[in-house]
Structure 1
Amino acid sequence: MDQTIVRWGRVEPHAATPDIAVGLAAETADPLWFLLRQWQLGELTGDDGGSPVALDTKVSWSRFTRYRPEGTPGRPAVALGDAAAPLERLVEQEAVLTPGDPAATPWTAAVRAGRSLRRHLAARHLTAVADALAARPDLRFDAAAPDGAPLGPDEVRYRRLLAGRVLDGAKVLALLADGPLPAGATAGADPGALADALRDWQRELAEDWGVLAPGADPAPPSWVPDRFEYAFSLAAPPLPPAEPPAAAAADAAAVAPAAELVLRAPAYDGTGLAWYDLDLDADAAADPGRALGAAADGGATGQRTATALPAPLRYPGMPADRFWEFEDARVSLGAATGGPTDLARMLAVDFALVHGPDWYLAPVEVPVGCVARVDWVVVRDTFGAATLVGTAATRAGDGVGRQFQPAAASGPEGDHPLLVVLPSAGAALGSPPLERVALQRDEAADLAWAIEQRVLGPSGRGIELPWQRSEFDLPRARSASAYELVWRLATPVARSWTPLVPAAPRPGAPDGPRLLRRARLLETRTGELRAARSRILRDAAGGVRDEEVTRGGVEVRMLDQLVRRPDGSSHVWRGREKRPGRGEATSGLRFDAATPDLERGRPDLP
């Protein structure tokens, strides 16, 4: 006869037969005991609430139609272009080709632009035009580099293999900016085919490399050089009015702005856009100078009503709904601890244990690149009852729950039930850094340093600038006695270290931000005044805000990025990103120092 016994507080099945199937069945002679335990733990307690079986959702949306870069004040708003391009490319893309100054174009871009032109001409049977252009000495790639530019293995290879042998696409662009191609090079060519080839070629260069307009700032228009961040705004037309249920329509009309919706990203660090990078500008409707002029047109706004089967929302380690259910052993919420000020952890544990089974997922499709608003949600349960889910504005009156909606922390604007669906890249593939500059504090020397670890070479590839501890060693002096004190103007610092010193307030703005400006160090061995060589620091010639260089430091990078969109198109752009640093640096820099000739002290470097 089978029986169930209790040993040391554990319930264990015990069978008198050697059959393993009986033991695995875990039969019990007293099922009433299990029912009693379930009753004691509240598992048999019922209520009058049914389980959701259907959700009816009404959503209104408005597409982003205007964009304004805000790297410098006074930039005009422009219409958004290619809907398939990621927003990061629009914000971050830097122009690589410079027709106004072909010598400033990276060699890689110039050579590839020339090869692309030859390919477009050959596709329209105009190879003779490409050969005639390549035969002109003034249009050949000459591998010219500015004085003092760093040279690496790529620069040596380009000079040996390509200099004077291939067509320079940047020079052809500069020639087209001044007028048509020389008549001698286009003699006998079909004018229509030639115009089509040049148009397609220039469009391809603008999409793949970016072409800088003559006299324009080489930095992206959204780049804020004194903060090493991007700043921009997006605007969408007003959302359409909500429709019944009437209570939800009145609530949505009360909290939704009636003017254009302007969202601003004041400090985007370049590591990938998300909805929390943008803030709703509630003052745009009252201030015409802050508006972007997003007018409603065909297809910019719309509404959608969807019915979906709600699915319980689950996550790894979620507590089980029932007491007699085995849970995932990888997560132990009971072992979570927290100090008196660690309220967030305790709230998360309390929410998981109490409200974990209360969440359901019911997707509603909206266009990519829009601002959406949930007008109303009606929940139908297993008893046939339909419940209108309220919002924050109606919760005080009806006492029921509310939808998940982003809300302002404080202020007279109240709650804004808006959800942002950005046309972001998601996860882009990044190249090795083309430039990498670390900005670190040096408390002993009472200044900050911009340490150039990698800079952009003339070829357009990154060149490492390693430094050694020996570069900080004191040089030998020719003194009569080995122990005689030697006066030094300054102790040496590595070549790639550029000092950042506090600057006086700008004239007319005594209360402006405190800036750190680049300074030049005198190389006592050669008498040379050395300066920064990276593009990142050259763009910040006006100074860097003092609060941006924290004690933890900051690292700024320039890199190429690639992303493939759902429609199969590929998009490439060059951008910058700001990341946390690695703490303080110690250079050991001293001015007006008298030291023994044999001193070989080395600073404590990071």
Structure 2
Amino acid sequence: MKTMAEESAIFFPETALKYLPLYQPTIVTWNRLEGRTRAEDFDRAMKAEVRDALWMISRQWQMGEFIGDDAGSPVLAKVHMATTALNKYQAGGLPASPLEKDIPLEVKAEHQSIPFQQGELNISLDLRLLMGRQWLKWIAQIDPALKGDYITEYPIARPDPAQESDARICAHIQAWQQVAAVAGRRMDGYALYSYLKEDAARHAYDNIPGVTDDAQRTAIDGIAAKFIAWYERLYYQPHKKENPSWKPEYLEHQFACSAPKDGGEKVLAAEEYYHGHLDWYNFDIDQHRTSLDTDPGAPALENPEASITHTFIPTSVSFGGMPHPRWWTFENWKTDLGFVQPDTTDLNKLLLLEFILVYANDWFIVPFTLPVGTLADIKGLMVTNVFGENIWVQAAGSGSDEDWQRWSMYTLNVKGTEEVPADLSLVVLPAARKVLESKPVEEIFMLRDEIANMVWGVESQVPLVTGKSKPGKEAGYELRNKLQQLMDQTGEVVPEFTYQAKIRYQVTNSVPEQWIPMIPVHIEGNNREIQLQRAAMPRILEGDPNVPKKIEPRTSLLREGLEEGQPYFLHEEEVPRAGIKVNKSYQRTRWYNGKVYTWVGIRKQVGKGGGSSGLAFDQILPAKTQE
């Protein structure tokens, strides 16, 4: 607070004070005008006092607050709910099996086999060494001298850089160094595992000269059973070679679950699952299937249907950043709503802001705890307000399932286009809450080449023999250079012709090795529809007098059926103009019972558009001339 002398210095400058007898006192300049209280108590100054209450009422009338028809606040709610549980699972053409509750559903639907073999080449060296180290650790407890015998019986082969069969190893210097470092020194644990799994009559001590007595054989049999259980617990894989839910012709998973309902079954079908996270929107209700086919000799399952009636006290919905419903009360939340700057096309943010700022205090929550795997249907909800009125609440999504104006969330769609009542049941899937995902072990892009009028499968990430991955462009370039080096070392050189003309005719050129062609073929029995079939480009090496060999894909995603000599077909409509991106990676989650699951899953996403392979036919090029 300023003194009177200070105020005079502000309102009457020094130049004006010198000529007061000549000029009338006047305010020449100032730098601030402020109010000053006469008391030391600021309580009344901080109050928002209204002298005229009629003015407040008129403002409410102008803002339309008297038009609203507000009801009393709810004080009691009674809910009647019918529940059942998912108890069957079916994938592919196999009979339905009981749905285990101790495993996440996406693990059961997604898990793939870990590839250990590509043609004649052993891959996944990291897992082979891991399994071998575990076995040698356990076998040393019986007799440390047996470790050398198992390394000799199940060795890591040393690659030969002069052999074409080992070119895929020696072409990549890091992979070559790692394989050569462990060759003859470490054990191939997967070779022992596959030997035991192929025939139950086999033993882990077969062909091991150091095992001489029955006591050792008995101990080794116990370790072998423990070894198999350890590996199968470490990585969740299909019991058979492939997961029946995976459909390579669609690059999607297809499976179904069912729950008992009113003497029959309610079938939930997931026919286009590729997202990597399983949720309610992946399922549709298949009203044309009344049950899932099961084995006739399978034991009957318990009926989990139940009816529950609970009484609750509703509570207001609250969240961080929620405006306070009372006037002149500041919020103490940490959410800054002013920082949210949605665009005109960002509908989700606009709806969220409208809910927060306008309708936040109009919503109440009635908690109802359901176990995992439950399919619940609310049969009735009655709310009692503070005036003692009982109000029967109907679901907002009621009506025909084909009504395009019907709006609901977390409800399942009914397959088909028939006029059927909307299904308002809620499914609580036994899905993992959080999944850790590794870097892609394999990654491909399916894209359209409009210039060449073809579809290509471009291998963006390919697995190496070590278990790690490498960009497909680099891996293809290194492999081609290694094969060309081996060709140059053979000494077989095709003599070049001396062309008299200055131009030459070329039928076709080549493309990078990671580009796998998908050619269109007719669907059998149909003259109009087509599908895509995996083909191969020839590997043309300079000076090679032999017939060019086919370039094989290096990812298991594009090697589908190649080991068995079967063609691979892909539906043409699965590759849009934007293309698709498919990757395979390791995934890990922890279930509610504390058990950890690790598996290999596949995810499909939208691609990055089309591409150009550079493939061209019928070209006129400058001729090579010799002096």
Comparing 293-302 and 443-452, the one that deviates more: 293-302
Give the length in aligned residue pairs. 545
Q: Which runs of 5+ in 2 are unaligned?
A: 1-33, 401-405, 479-494, 562-566
Q: 1:420 aligns with which of 422, 427, 433?
A: 427
Q: How does the TM-score come out when normalised to structure 1?
A: 0.76
Aligned with 2:522 (options 504, 514, 529): 504
Q: How does 1:521-536 map to 2 (within 5 A)?
A: 521-523=538-540, 525=542, 526=544, 527-536=548-557
- Cα distance in 2 between the residues matched to 1:196 and 1:377: 59
Is residue 188 of structure 2 the alignment partner of residue 138 of structure 1? no
Structure 1 residue corresponding to 2:285, chosen from 266, 280, 286: 280
2:511 pairs, out of 493, 514, 521, with 493
1:521/1:331 Cα in 2 relative to 1: closer, same or farther (>3 Å)?
Answer: farther
Between 1:18-27 and 1:365-374, the stretch displaced more is 18-27
Could you tell me how far 1:577 is from its partner in structure 2?
1.0
* In structure 2, distance between residues paired with 1:292 and 1:53: 52
Superposition deviation, residue 450 in structure 1? 1.3
- 1:39/1:586 CA distance change after superposition, 3 Å: same
TM-score computed with the length of structure 2 as normaliser:
0.73
Letter in 1 for 2:42: A
Counterpart in 1 of 2:485?
none
Letter of the 2:155 partner, please give it: R
Match of 2:168 in 1: 149
Q: Which amino acid aligns with 1:539?
A: E
2:621 corresponds to = 595
Q: Deviations over 1:159-181 (max 9, x none)?
A: 23322222322222233233232
Task: Work out which of the residue numbers 162, 171, 181 in structure 2 matches 1:161.
Answer: 181
Kindly state the Cα deviation for residue 583 of structure 1 after the two structures are TM-superposed: 0.9
Structure 2 equivalent of residue 223 of structure 1: 246
AA aligned opposite 1:379: V
Look up the match of 1:180: 202
Alpha-carbon distance change, 175 to 315 in structure 1, aligned in 2, over 3 angstroms: same
Partners of 1:235 and 1:292 within 8 A in 2? no
Displacement of 1:226 in angstroms is 1.5
Give how far 1:229 is off: 1.2
Q: What letter is aligned with 2:268?
A: L
Q: Secondary structure at the match of 2:264?
A: coil
Q: Is the 8 A contact 1:129 1:189 kept in 2?
A: no
Deviates more, 1:50-59 or 1:524-533: 524-533
Rounded Cα–Cα distance in structure 2 between residues aligned with 1:97 and 1:441: 28
Q: Do the aligned partners of 2:280 and 2:412 also contact (CA within 8 Å) in 1?
A: no
Contact 1:406 1:416 in 2 (8 A): yes
Query: Quick one: which of 108, 112, 129 aligns to 1:94?
Result: 112
Q: Which runs of 5+ in 1 are unaligned?
A: 1-12, 239-256, 472-476, 599-606
Q: Are the aligned partners of 2:531 and 2:569 in contact in 1 as well (CA < 8 Å)?
A: no
Distance in 1 (alpha carbons) for counterparts of 2:418 and 2:175: 57
Deviations 1:278-304 (A, max 9, x none): 11111111x776999998744744444
For 2:596 and 2:477, locate their aligned partners in 1 and report how far apart those are by CA, in whole Å.
Answer: 46
Kept in 2: contact 1:15–1:22 (CA 8 A)? no
One-letter amino acid of the counterpart of residue 535, structure 2: R
Distance 1:92 1:349, change over 3 A: same
Aligned to 1:76: 95
Q: CA deviation at 1:230?
A: 1.1
CA contact (8 A) 1:237 1:294 kept: no
Structure 2 counterpart of 1:382: 386
Aligned match of 1:359 in 360, 363, 375?
A: 363
Rate the CA distance shift 1:48–1:288 in 2: closer, same or farther, 3 A: closer
1:456 is the counterpart of 2:473: no
Amino acid across the alignment from 2:585: L
User: SS in structure 1 opposite 2:473?
Assistant: coil
How is 1:113-512 mapped onto 2 (pairs within 5 angstroms)?
A: 113-121=131-139, 125-128=141-144, 131=147, 134=150, 137-142=152-157, 149=168, 152=172, 155-176=175-196, 177-178=198-199, 179-181=201-203, 182=205, 185=211, 187-189=213-215, 194-210=220-236, 217=241, 219-238=242-261, 258-285=263-290, 297-298=301-302, 300-314=304-318, 330=337, 337=344, 357-391=361-395, 406=411, 408=413, 411-466=418-473, 484-506=502-524, 508=525, 510=527
Q: Specify which of 17, 30, 35 is matched with residue 51 of structure 2.
A: 30
| DSSP-derived class of the 1:189 partner | helix
